[in-house]
Structure 1
Amino acid sequence: MAGALAGRTLFVTGASRGIGLAIARRAAADGANVAIAAKSAVPNPKLPGTIHTAAAEVEALGGRALALRCDIREEEQVQAAVAETVSAFGGIDILVNNASAIWLRGTLDTPMKRYDLMQEVNARGTFLCSQACLPHLLKSSNPHILTLAPPPSLEPKWWGPHTAYTLAKMGMSFATIGLAAEFGPQGVAVNALWPRTIIATDALNMIPGIDIARCRKPEIVADAAHAILSRPAKGLHGRFFIDEDALREAGITDLARYAVDPSQTPLPDLFL
């Protein structure tokens, strides 16, 4: 798969750290252009990484980077970020909807500001970024939209513990279904990707009691994303990939290197 994304332009939301940064780094290793769209423009002592440190990592790996301070809740900021990306790199080939807000509490412990934040970032943000990028994606020779969202499900066990978060996250999944149905026939590969296991990112701070040693590294999701984004877009839409399955389809079966501690059994993800 080496070099498959060379010269391609990716617009990655929430790419200043975690899975988004890992996806940006993997694309950079191919020689891709990466627009890093995130809110983190100045260092935060509790959350390492900014758009500028991420851009430096992309360029150190051989890619071209564009650091864009962008709150995907704000339409004007998204439109401006997309326009700047097109101006810098000549177009957009890939959109990765990675940015997401999380709050794993029950209904009575969910302030409406948290509910609104998750809806605006997760479901609305996915739709807005897709809407803004699609005119440019439709001009690409191999356009992809990849959203970090779980397989859609109405199983009550996924909804009862944290209805607000599940609603916002499944909103990303349902947006994937709709966009795939609308733009898949036009040649845009619109798909989703979700990890089989819990991934060791800063989001774990929202899940008390998680044993980091039983998690996998963000690189497994990044390599799975790379495998999907390297494929021809035509006819590839409406799929909800699981990271390890996507890797197996690409011929990668040794997953031990992705474990934080290979001697531990990985924890299953929240929605699987």
Structure 2
Amino acid sequence: MSLAGKTLFISGGSRGIGLAIALRAAREGANVAIAAKTAEPHPKLPGTIHTAAGQIEEAGGRALPILCDVRFEEQVEDAVAATVEAFGGIDICINNASAIHLTGTLKTDMKRFDLMHQINTRGTFLVSRACIPHLRKADNPHILNLAPPLDMKAKWFKHHVAYSIAKFGMSMCTLGMSAEFAGDGIAVNALWPLTAIDTAAVRNVLGGEAMAKRCRSPEIVADAACAIVKRPARACTGNFFIDELVLREEGVTDFSRYAPGITGPLIADFFVPDEVLAKTDTELRVMGKA
């Protein structure tokens, strides 16, 4: 199955993993709506909705840059309507927009708590809700959330409970909506990286350049995402996918191109269950440990 002519609505797709997914789909001739809140260059973050649109069109796709903050219902509804008007419908919804702040309970102010929940959990719910009426009309409709497996262990919560709740909220949207809309033939799945990914969050929040040298590129998540949304929707829903395992199912055996020049162990991402780590022979170390 090809993504040629398919329309993707991607939240937060002006940089990082969202942009990588957009470009991967564009190379197959997809239409991509980039719904993000960066319209002007940011002093610390690369890319805007306009630079992303230019890259998508250079890659062979059609692009629609939309200024949209997923915290606001009217903006999301307008963005979805603009996408349908431009491309005739929506086939795939990618919930990529996310906010991260890794602090414990006493160091997490409520403004930051609210921001993470508004973007991560509420944003995923809102964007999905707005897209579903149009997905019902699509031939092979997919919702894909960039969210972790539901691994309810205290170790994922004890150091940054507010962030973890907000991120697992996206996972619970996956669990609930996959069952709710199974009869409509809408696939709802989650995708999460096995390793940390070299993004602005890694460089600006988590570990800087030193950590980036132990990460894979966003292209591994993009390749896995596009493999998932090309699968038959009715036979592929309610899954919590891990990028490397998806690509192994697709026949990929050499992952070195996703970490060019890196020797030694990569950093395992947050929230990856122990049983998943046991399924791969990739050399990994736990984030934050030598």
Pairwise CA distance, 1:153: 2.0
What amino acid maps onto 1:30 in structure 2?
Answer: E
Equivalent of 2:78, from 65, 70, 80? 80
Q: 1:191: which partner in 2?
A: 189
Alpha-carbon spacing, 1:119–1:137, altered in 2? closer, same or farther (3 Å):
same
What amino acid maps onto 2:138 in structure 1?
Answer: S
SS at match of 1:12: strand
Pairwise CA distance, 1:260: 4.5
Q: Could you tell me how far apart the structure 2 residues matched to 1:20 and 1:253 are? A: 24
SS at match of 2:145: strand
Q: 1:158: which partner in 2?
A: 156
Number of aligned pairs? 270
TM-score normalised to the size of structure 1?
Answer: 0.97
Q: Could you tell me how far apart the structure 2 residues matched to 1:190 and 1:264 are? A: 35
Q: 2:205: which partner in 1?
A: 206
State the Cα RMSD in Å: 1.0
Q: 2:285: which partner in 1?
A: none
Equivalent of 2:111, from 107, 110, 113? 113
SS at match of 1:101: coil
1:73-105 superposed Cα distances (whole Å, 9 cap, x missing partner): 000000000000000000000000000000011
Runs of 4+ displaced beyond 4 Å? none
Q: 1:229: which partner in 2?
A: 229
Q: 1:28: which partner in 2?
A: 26
Structure 1 gap segments, 5+ residues each: none
Q: Could you tell me how far apart the structure 1 residues matched to 2:260 and 2:103 are? A: 27
SS at match of 1:261: coil
Matches within 5 A, 1:212-251: 212-251=212-251
Q: Could you tell me how far apart the structure 1 residues matched to 2:78 and 2:235 are? A: 31
Pairwise CA distance, 1:240: 0.3
The 8 Å contact of residues 176 and 191 in structure 1, kept in 2 or not, is answered as yes
Q: 1:137: which partner in 2?
A: 135
Of all paired residues, the percent bearing the same amino acid is 62
Matches within 5 A, 1:89-104: 89-104=87-102
1:171-229 superposed Cα distances (whole Å, 9 cap, x missing partner): 00001100001012321110000000000000112113652111000000000001101
SS at match of 2:267: coil
Structure 2 gap segments, 5+ residues each: 273-290
TM-score normalised to the size of structure 2?
Answer: 0.91
